[in-house]
Chain A
Amino acid sequence: MEKTKKYSYGTKRFIQFGLIAPLVIWLVLFLIIPYLNLFVNSFWTNGVFGVQHKFTLENYTKFFTSGSGSNKPIMVLLDTLRISVIVMICTILISFPLVYFINFKVKKNKQLFYMLAIIPLWVSYIMRAYSWRIILGTNGMLNSFLIWSGITSKPIDAFLYSNGSVIIAMVHIYTPFVLMPMYTAMEQIPKNLIEASKDLGCGRIRTFIKVLLPLSIPGVLTGGTYALALSMGDFLAPNLLGGPTSSTKISNIVQMQFGTSNNWPYGAAIAIIIFLVVLMIITILGKLEKHFSKLEEAGR
Chain B
Amino acid sequence: MDKKLIEIKNLKKSFGENEIIKSISLDVFDGEFLTLLGPSGCGKTTILRILAGFEYPTEGEILLDGENLITIPANKRNINTVFQSYALFPHLSVRDNIGYGMKIKKVPLKELNERVDEMLALTSLEVLANRKPLQLSGGQQQRVAIARSLVNRPKVLLLDEPLGALDLGLRKKMQIELKRLQKKLGTTYIYVTHDQEEALTISDRIVVMNAGKIEQCDKAKTVYQKPASKFVTEFLGETNLIDGEYCDEENQAYFKIQGRAYPVEKQEKKMKLLSVRPENLKVCPPDKDGLKGQIVENVFMGENYRIGVQAANGQVLYILQKEPMNKGSVVGLTFDADKVSGI
Contact = CB atoms under 8 A, between A and B. Distances in A.
A87 B85 CA distance: 39
Contacts of B81: 195-196, 199
B80 A199 contact: yes
Q: Specify which of A190, A201, A297 lies most central, judged by the most chain B CB atoms within 10 Å of its CB.
A: A201
A284 to B, nearest CB: 21
Nearest to B106: A201
B148 A200 contact: yes
Interface string B70-97: 0001111001110101111111000000
A298 B52 contact: no
B101 A211 contact: no
A199 B90 contact: no
Contacts of A196: 81, 83, 87-89
Nearest to A203: B75
Contacts of B300: none
Interface residues of A, number: 24
Contacts of A206: 104
A298 B149 CA distance: 19
Interface in A159-209: 190, 192-193, 195-203, 206
A190 B87 contact: yes
B339 interface: no
B104 A200 contact: yes
Interface residues of B, number: 31
B89 A201 contact: no
Interface in B130-163: 132-136, 141, 148-149, 152
Contacts of B73: 198
Given A201-B105, A206-B104, A215-B91, A299 B86 contact: yes
Nearest to B88: A299
A198 B87 contact: no
A200 B100 contact: yes
B75 A202 contact: yes
A158 B83 CA distance: 57
Contact of B90 (A201, A203, A299): A299
Contacts of A197: 89, 100
A289 interface: no
Contacts of A198: 53-54, 73-75
B87 A200 contact: no
Nearest to A194: B87
B80 A200 contact: yes
B53 A215 contact: no
Nearest to B76: A201
A199 B134 contact: no
Interface in A13-63: none
A299 B75 contact: no
A296 interface: yes
B135 A298 contact: yes
Interface in A199-241: 199-203, 206, 210-211, 214-215
Interface string A286-300: 000000001111111
Contacts of A297: 90, 134
Nearest to A192: B87
Contacts of A300: 90
Nearest to A207: B75
B75 A192 contact: no
Contact of A299 (B76, B87, B105): B87
Given A200-B101, A202-B75, A298 B87 contact: no
Nearest to B105: A201
Contacts of B52: 195, 199
Contacts of B80: 199-200
B214 to A, nearest CB: 25
Contacts of A215: 90-91
B310 to A, nearest CB: 43
Q: Specify which of A199, A203, A295, A298 lies most central, judged by the most chain B CB atoms within 10 Å of its CB.
A: A199
Contacts of B133: 298-299
A151 to B, nearest CB: 45
A296 B90 contact: yes
B104 A214 contact: no
A65 to B, nearest CB: 48
B113 to A, nearest CB: 17
A162 B88 CA distance: 49
Interface string B223-258: 000000000000000000000000000000000000
A197 B90 CA distance: 12
Contacts of A299: 85-90, 133-134, 141
Nearest to B77: A199
Nearest to B100: A200
A196 B75 CA distance: 10
B186 to A, nearest CB: 21
Q: Specify which of B52, B101, B152 lies most central, judged by the most chain A CB atoms within 10 Å of its CB.
A: B101
Contact of B132 (A201, A202, A210, A298): A298
Given A195-B83, A296-B91, 9 more contacts: A195-B52, A195-B81, A196-B81, A201-B104, A202-B104, A203-B75, A210-B100, A294-B134, A299-B134
Which 5 pairs across A and B sit closest by C-beta, in order of nearness? Answer: A298-B134, A200-B101, A196-B87, A298-B90, A298-B133
7 contacts: A195-B83, A197-B89, A198-B74, A201-B105, A299-B88, A299-B133, A300-B90
Interface of B: 52-54, 73-76, 79-81, 83, 85-91, 100-101, 104-105, 132-136, 141, 148-149, 152
